[in-house]
């Protein structure tokens, strides 16, 4: 019988099943160890607001970008897998800095495009509970489980001062899901067969340019909606030093994300039909950017872009299945849709539980609705 070292040996560039299993176990042990250290760090710091806000932000910056990356740069990562990771990072990181810097200058130190100026979120937190600071760590766990969770609900709701503010976010997010599903369904019902005939063979180089442009626009519009999720821990009006720290931490987190080619939740994009093709990725990003821009100008109330994105992918997948433009049957497409909705619903439930546990005003308002 061969030894373990013999059984796991393989030609250069290839890994055996045993190699992959061992690698997975090691990765998970490292992740759990780091997660344990992070929970301890929260325990030591959450009572000191000056430190806790930056600890919470540090965890939130990577957790939010790692989970929400599927919405904006997920298709970008998949369709540019042969590009150097640092080239993608410089492009996306540069747009991030430019986008939040504009808001910081335009809105007197506010990097959220006034999303945090809306009712229920306008006050800078002056004290923190353990769960508020630890909330991003729960998001990391859900991300590790490949769940596309709404960071808006998971992070923002624990700071909401009224149930009405959360209700406004929920209403806008569900409307976003319905609109994106309907738009995607209509578009792909109309074009699925056409693009199947036209998009054969290698894509013209111009498509690569178009994708980078649409992804850049989408990334900027998305930041105008979701920067609030990680800035919620910080002062509503940042000094230059605070802004520099904010932008620097997120930029480094983006670098790690590109280096590892996306978090585990990237599978939500990878499993969808035809997203590796740069032409399909460009069309998805273009439509998503238009929808987010519409909701951006509609109101300043924060919303879950995750629900919008899941609706977009769901409508597309159902339409392609009905038009026989994918190997999936309509029933299989529905199952994929149900799974994604289930995951984001779990995230919503977890976020509401955390909000009720740490926020007295929110808990009293919710219990008052049910007469408790």
By three-state DSSP, how is residue 335 classified? helix
Q: Please say whether the beta carbons of 340 and 313 come within 8 A.
A: yes
Give the pLDDT means over successive 10-residue stretches in the chain (372 positions). Answer: 40 54 67 91 95 94 75 76 90 96 96 88 89 87 74 80 76 92 93 77 85 92 90 94 95 86 56 64 88 89 87 89 79 86 80 73 59 50
Q: Please say whether the beta carbons of 265 and 143 come within 8 A.
A: yes
Q: How far is CA 134 from the centre of its chain?
A: 18
Q: 136: which 2 tokens? A: 């991003």
Q: Which class for 36: exposed (0-12), middle (13-18), buried (19 or more C-beta within 10 A)? A: exposed
**Other beta carbons within 10 Å of 6:** 8
Q: How far apart are CA 37 and CA 229, in angstroms?
A: 23
Residues 6 or more apart whose CB falls under 8 angstroms from that of 85 comprise 258, 259, 261
Dump pLDDT digits (tens) for 162-215.
Answer: 667 777 888 898 999 999 999 999 999 998 777 777 777 787 889 889 989 999
Dump pLDDT digits (tens) for 146-168.
Answer: 776 777 877 887 787 666 777 78
Per-residue pLDDT, 208: 87
Q: Please say whether the beta carbons of 305 and 175 come within 8 A.
A: no
Q: How far apart are CA 55 and CA 70, in angstroms?
A: 24
Per-residue pLDDT, 202: 81
Per-residue pLDDT, 269: 54
Per-residue pLDDT, 275: 55
Q: How far apart are CA 47 and CA 65, in angstroms?
A: 26
Per-residue pLDDT, 95: 96
Dump pLDDT digits (tens) for 78-117.
Answer: 778 788 999 999 999 999 999 999 999 999 999 999 999 8
Per-residue pLDDT, 9: 43
Question: Comparing C-alpha atoms, which of 246, 339, 251, 255 is closest to residue 53?
Answer: 246
């Amino acid at each position: 019988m061969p030894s373990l070292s013999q059984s796991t040996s393989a030609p250069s560039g290839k890994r055996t099943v045993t190699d992959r299993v061992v690698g997975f176990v090691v990765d998970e042990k490292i992740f759990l160890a780091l997660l344990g250290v992070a929970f301890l760090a929260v325990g030591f710091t959450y009572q000191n607001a000056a430190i806790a806000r930056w600890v919470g932000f540090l965890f939130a910056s990577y957790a939010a970008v790692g989970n929400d990356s599927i919405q904006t740069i997920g298709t970008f990562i998949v369709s540019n897998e042969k590009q150097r990771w640092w080239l993608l990072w410089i492009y996306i990181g540069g747009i991030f800095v430019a986008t939040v810097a504009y808001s910081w200058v335009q809105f007197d130190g506010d990097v959220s495009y006034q999303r945090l100026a809306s009712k229920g979120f306008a006050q800078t937190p002056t004290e923190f509970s353990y769960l508020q600071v630890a909330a991003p760590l729960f998001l990391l766990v859900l991300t590790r489980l490949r769940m596309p969770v709404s960071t808006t609900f998971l992070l923002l709701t624990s700071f909401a001062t009224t149930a009405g503010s959360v209700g406004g976010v929920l209403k806008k997010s569900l409307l976003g899901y319905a609109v994106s599903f309907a738009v995607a369904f209509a578009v792909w019902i109309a074009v699925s067969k056409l693009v199947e005939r036209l998009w054969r063979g290698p894509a013209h180089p111009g498509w690569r340019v178009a994708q980078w442009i649409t992804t850049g626009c989408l990334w900027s519009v998305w930041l105008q909606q979701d920067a609030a999720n990680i800035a919620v821990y910080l002062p509503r009006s940042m000094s230059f030093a605070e802004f520099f720290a904010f932008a620097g931490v997120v930029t480094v987190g983006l670098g790690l994300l590109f280096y590892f080619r996306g978090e585990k939740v990237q599978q939500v994009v990878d499993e969808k039909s035809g997203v590796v093709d740069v032409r399909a990725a460009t069309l998805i990003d273009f439509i998503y950017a238009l929808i987010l821009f519409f909701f951006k100008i509609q109101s300043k109330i924060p919303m879950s872009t995750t629900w919008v994105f899941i609706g977009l992918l769901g409508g597309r997948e159902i339409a392609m299945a009905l038009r026989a433009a994918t190997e999936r049957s309509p029933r299989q497409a529905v199952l994929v849709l149900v799974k994604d909705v289930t995951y984001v619903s779990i995230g919503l439930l977890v976020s509401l539980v955390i909000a009720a546990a740490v926020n007295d005003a929110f808990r009293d308002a919710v219990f008052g609705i049910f007469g408790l």
